[in-house]
Chains A and B, each alone.
Chain A
Amino acid sequence: MSTIGNSKSGKTGLIFFPAFDWAISPTHPEREERLLYTRDQIFEEGLMDLPSIEEYKPRLAEKKDVARTHFCVPDVESQVTEAHLIAAGSTLTLADALERGEIKNGFALVRPPGHHSMRVVHGNRGFCNINNMAIMVDYLRSKYGHKRIAVIDTDVHHGDGTQEIFWHDPDVLCISFHQDGHTLYPGSGFVNEMGGPQALARTLNVPLPPGTTDEGIHYVLDNLILPILGEFKPDLVLNSAGQDNHYTDPLANMRFSANGYARLNEKLAPDLCVLEGGYAVETALPYVNTGIIQAMAGLDYSHVREPDFVPGRFVQSAEMKREIEHTVSQVMKTWEERDELVATALEGMGEFYRRKKRIFYDTDMINENQEEVVRLCPDCSGYMTINTSAQRGYGVLNSAFCVAIPRGACSSCREDAQEEYAEHLDDRRIGYVLMQDKDRDKFKFCNNMTHTEKGY
């Protein structure tokens, strides 16, 4: 029975946007049919008629909302369709409803998903073009002034996009548990990925062995995620609610159940949930979504059960249990040592932190090379530049120089960042120069070949 967890009164906001007219390709897992049976189930359940649930109409996100989070190359228009803007906009509609006090929590049951999209966007990777969750986080912070936000990624795949976007941000705690990257896309999310030098241990990864059951996932929740949230004390807890840990998912190998998902959301009590992946369109999604909605609305979810599920069907081996316990203790240690980790990392590091990255866009077959530079500023979180070049096949697709001015930027970072932007405007080797001024909420795109600039 779901009596604990939801002490706040009020309704649960729900946006159901199945994008019945959008697909990556007709037979792709991310196709029109994905939420069809979920629609049938939640409509047949009559969930939207219950007094504890309020259904909202999706809206389109503004291009500016996308630019606040992403450097879309060459521009926002080229990277998003209406479906993407509606999926992202749905999260913002719920964010507004939450902030206005109309709802106690909300679930954006939308597609296409977003958590593999990184800060720079050249195309689609891992079925994602833009990161709905990250766009919502940036919107909540810029519009409503929230400082500390926790994003818990419960998708079976590592939430590498969200991790990368908040990598340097000590105020956004990103915890992702997922099937071990040795065995599943995107092949990352190991315990040693812990965030940038100023934000170490504000990115935490919990790789789990294939076959992890309800027991294992709830062990991670009870012994790692919930205690850490208790110490981090975020203003908001957000759930990147993928549903592919389910035991029937065709793309992964875990053994999580619909009841396990519902119980997870009851305990985690997220303020807002955003759907990510989940491709068992008939055998999992209708039940998992029903369970999550019920748990969020404080309804009894004990009647939700997959037709082939019997309690006790999946038993965790002693070895698997040891492995999970070991990972949890390792990650917990990282968290506990966070202040020392940051101090040690910053020691002896110069004025700038640099890293080079290669990013592969599996859906669009793009290879991207990046050099990222962050100023380790004593007065603010430091401006950032990213030099990016993307290749498709043997040809260069696009190249860009991106400059980000952080919220609360000091005047020296602002001046230097503006200088970097201006300097690269004449560089004919670079296709586009982008400026993200998060402090003033202004975003610029310049095409170096045509010398045209536009802004949002």
Chain B
Amino acid sequence: MLIGIDVGGTTTDAVIVDGSRVVKTAYVPTDHDNLLGCLLAAMDELVRGIDTRKIERVVLSTTLITNMIAEGKTDPVALVLIPGPGTNPKDYSLGESIILDGAIDFRGKETDPLKESQIREAAARIAAQGLSRVAVVGKFCQRNHSHEVKAGQVISSVLPNARIELGHRVSGQLNFPRRAATTMLTAATKDSYEKFAADVARALKQRKIEAPVYILKADGGTLPLDKSVSMPVETIFSGPAASIMGVLALTDPGKTSVVVDIGGTTTDLALILSGRPLLSAKGARVDSMFTHVRAFAVKSVAIGGDSAVCAGIGAISVGPHRDGPPCCMGGKGPTPTDALRVLGLSDIGDLSKAEQAMNMVASGLGCTAKQAAQKVVDAVVDKIVSEVHEMFREWEAEPAYRIWEIMQKEKLSAQSVVGVGGGAPPLVPLVAAQLGAEAVVPQYAPVANAIGAAVARPTLTLNLHIDTEKGEYSVAEDGSLGRVTDRKMTPDDAERLARRLLAERAARLGISEYASEAEVTYSEMFNMIRGWSTSGRLMDVRMEVTAGLLPSWEGC
């Protein structure tokens, strides 16, 4: 038996899955001041009367990090940058930072040394500000760690109790400002996340749940809870990821679908392209900062069941704000939920109050309440449909850097529109009809998120960069470096090395059994020509275990 719990924005949903059967579901309202409490409340309700020894795995998806960031409750961090030549760091929206001299270039060559006295001064400034968490990030330091390591050591000698995060340990992918943001967020959330993880582990132990506990990441993959403490930021936006994994679990494989999660004031849209959830091209976005966190592309549209309907002369507008609950639920202003009630598309709330609400709208338009309700629903559906079209357009317009990528990109359109969340069932058929797609509202739509968490498999990515002229390789995900001796390495050799490193990384993360699922998703090789002869090769290989479902679920 597998347990999935999604601590969502309004409710915490939990399920027990056995094979491909949903055994039990439970819900409790989410209390943002006590996420652990509602997680455990949901868990207790779920396992009541269940033999906990039969639980094989527990997966949590939590808004903890998302909320901390949204509410500004993260710990303060001193950001130390070694930007080298290029962009003025002020042009990045990273907030205040301390800039150090020193530079590494794209080949990992030191082009400008660090100045130790300057680092000491920086450490003294950090101490004076009373900060104890430091993020040190250098441009191209993923290709040569020496500056970050050295700066970290010097700061640590001045501030022995400081918690120091180095950029190359957080991500080794190209994009310095994203790495700086991710490193800073890691430093800002690690302590709270560690405490949360320890509390969860203790609470489960008290309940005699011995099964391994995993956390769901933004890319729909699971990671053992104890390993996740080094990368807390990976858990942001795990709620939408849970819903998308749930849709993957509850619909036919291989399809191109639009996932529509209609809530009170927002509608989340996501795409599954030929059975694979679309990842955000620029990584997860936190406030105005892009990060190196791989996340599903989710578009939040400011429209939902509770959106305020404003009726003017001859025209209406829906959202983006909320004036309170729908009239039919005791609110004051008209909402789409009232419109659906009037049209008989839902049976939520009091019909007469819904009719009153639509009469308010109708008076401005000079039509009947039913006609007004139809106009409100049309406005909501039109908005969602146009945003879906926009998502497909954006996907098609994603930059490509190779001839074959430009030649091969196929045009896709939605085969099905899948509704999850409370507001979806009445609207999904209308959206689907406009998109010329099939409407799907799965039986377990309200707990799709918890099911998604329960049956998601681990994901793992490894980006390997090899420079045979320097005789060196680096792994982007953990910043590890190593030596290669063969200057004439072939792409096959590079892929073999990547597979070995991926297996080692999987073992460190406690997900060895999935390493064999890894595929090469990207591979490139450049001959370096100096003069007229080859001096070495630069190779990049990406291997991935992409988002997917556990075989026990898929097999049924």
Contact = CB atoms under 8 A, between A and B. Distances in A.
Contacts, number: 121
Interface string A287-306: 10010001000011011111
Interface in A34-76: 36-37, 39-41, 43-50, 55-60
A262 B111 CA distance: 21
Contact of A20 (B107, B174, B401): B401
Contact of A37 (B107, B112, B401, B533): B107
B83 interface: yes
Given A37-B107, A60-B406, A307-B112, A27 B83 contact: no
Contacts of A55: 399
Given A20-B402, A57-B398, A83-B403, A300 B177 contact: no
Contact of B87 (A21, A86, A299, A306): A299
B90 interface: yes
B479 to A, nearest CB: 15
Contact of A45 (B87, B112, B406): B87
Contacts of A286: 106
A282 B107 contact: yes
Contacts of B407: 82
Given A40-B174, A300-B91, A45 B86 contact: yes
B29 to A, nearest CB: 37
Interface in B377-412: 396-404, 406-407
B541 to A, nearest CB: 14
A46 B106 contact: no
B140 interface: yes
Nearest to A305: B85
Contacts of B282: 49
Contacts of A217: none
Interface residues of B, number: 43
Contacts of A36: 526, 538
Nearest to B532: A27
A46 B399 contact: no
Given A21-B403, A22-B403, A46 B87 contact: yes
A33 interface: yes
A289 to B, nearest CB: 11
Interface residues on A, range: 35 or more
B100 to A, nearest CB: 14
B399 A26 contact: no
Interface of A: 15-22, 26-27, 31-33, 36-37, 39-41, 43-50, 55-60, 82-83, 86, 282, 286-287, 290, 294, 299-300, 302-307
11 contacts: A37-B107, A40-B106, A47-B87, A49-B282, A50-B91, A55-B399, A57-B397, A282-B107, A300-B88, A305-B85, A307-B103
Interface of B: 83, 85-88, 90-92, 103, 105-107, 111-112, 139-140, 174-178, 282, 290, 396-404, 406-407, 524, 526-529, 532-534, 538
9 A-B pairs closest in CB distance = A307-B111, A40-B106, A46-B177, A43-B174, A300-B88, A305-B85, A44-B174, A33-B526, A46-B175
Given A15-B399, A19-B402, A46-B176, 15 more contacts: A16-B399, A16-B401, A18-B401, A21-B402, A27-B527, A33-B527, A37-B107, A43-B174, A49-B175, A49-B177, A49-B290, A83-B403, A300-B87, A303-B85, A307-B111
